[in-house]
Amino acid sequence: MSDRLITHLRHVDLAVPDYAVQREFYTTLWGLTPVAEDKDIVFLAAEGSPEQYIVRLRKDADKRLDLIAYGAASREDVDALARRLGEAGVQLISEPDVLKTAGGGHGFRFFDVDGRTIEVSAEVQDRAHRKIEERESIPVRLSHVVVNSPDVARTQAFYERHLGFALTDSLTHPHMGDLMKFMRCNPQHHSLAIAQGPHTSLHHVSFEMRGLDEYMRGTGRLLRAGVRKIWGPGRHMAGDNTFSYFLDPHGNTVEYTTELEVLDEDAWHPSVYDVSQPGNQDQWGTANPFDELVAKESFNDVDRGIFVAPPV
């Protein structure tokens, strides 16, 4: 769309009680690199990404999603978006200013309609990154984030109206109705998806791998380490990407994926996929069935950070 000011997904920030265990998982097993660290907070980069960091971990008494961060093309676009949101009555947490996190930049924060903290920034310093080599089974970049909402239509409308996201595809069930909306802010099939859930929470965070071999090697490393696999390996219909879902030490679902579809936005028409048809969940037929237990894990815990801005 012509007035879209958000360009891409930057990072996802998590707070957890057992910080040391969470840090060990994301660095030793998941494959992220610490680039800055202070007492009880660490910024983790993907070796193949120019983003300063793609995950931030912070110690807190409560498990919560601290924020989801998106990029904009310029400080003028950041300022324009903040002005637009303020005029529309969206609750701003901060006005555009210098960011005091790794990489700096110019940005601001606000609450979305469900109370999640969202950050938008520009002029963040790029990180020196490198090409991921064959058989190197570590994330190249952050792929997408999926959130749970008790009112998918309302959340979708917020992101379309205020942030310029567009609907790519939908998942539905003949008895349960709409289950998920895939939303994009660039030609990638989705940077955000909104899932129907009993409460506001994080559904999963997805990490792009170099290719199929690296995706399977990463999946195998987690399995050999005894990390609990929730669903996969398989290949979705919507997005055409592979999937292997695991639980991190605090019960957040994280995904290895690769080959997420890149669209011609001008020619794209959204499809509706009925998930009661097994091939629409997993084209390959290799994943375990998506049953009630898998769905329950995806609902996650009730987020304690709703309409409460993180301290950092």
- Contact (CB, 8 A) for 107 and 58: no
Fill in the DSSP letter of residue 151: -
- d(CA 47, CA 136) in angstroms, rounded, equals 11
**DSSP code at position 26:** I
Q: What is the pLDDT along the chain (312 residues), one digit of tens a residue?
A: 458 999 999 999 999 999 999 999 999 999 999 999 998 999 999 999 999 999 999 999 999 999 999 999 999 999 999 999 999 999 999 999 999 999 999 999 999 999 999 999 999 999 999 999 999 999 999 999 999 999 999 999 999 999 999 999 999 999 888 999 999 999 999 999 999 999 999 999 999 999 999 999 999 999 999 999 999 999 999 999 999 999 999 999 999 999 999 999 999 999 999 999 999 999 999 999 988 888 899 999 999 999 999 999
Tokens for 193? Answer: 């998806």
The distance of Cα 240 from the centroid of its chain, to the nearest Å, equals 17
- pTM of the predicted structure, to 2 decimals: 0.97
| Structural domains in the chain plus CATH codes | 6-122 (3.10.180.10), 141-299 (3.10.180.10)
Collapsing DSSP states into helix, strand and coil, what is residue 251?
Answer: coil
Rounded CA separation 296/169 (Å): 23
DSSP line for 201-235: EEEEEEEE-SSHHHHHHHHHHHHHTTPPEEEEEEE
| Residue of 9, 124, 5, 127 whose CA lies nearest to 72 | 5
Q: How far apart are CA 182 and CA 189, in angstroms?
A: 7
Residue 254: other Cβ atoms inside 10 A? 24
Please list the residues that pair with 193 across neighbouring strands: 146, 182
- Residue 19 CB neighbours (<10 A): 18
Name 8's bridge partners.
71
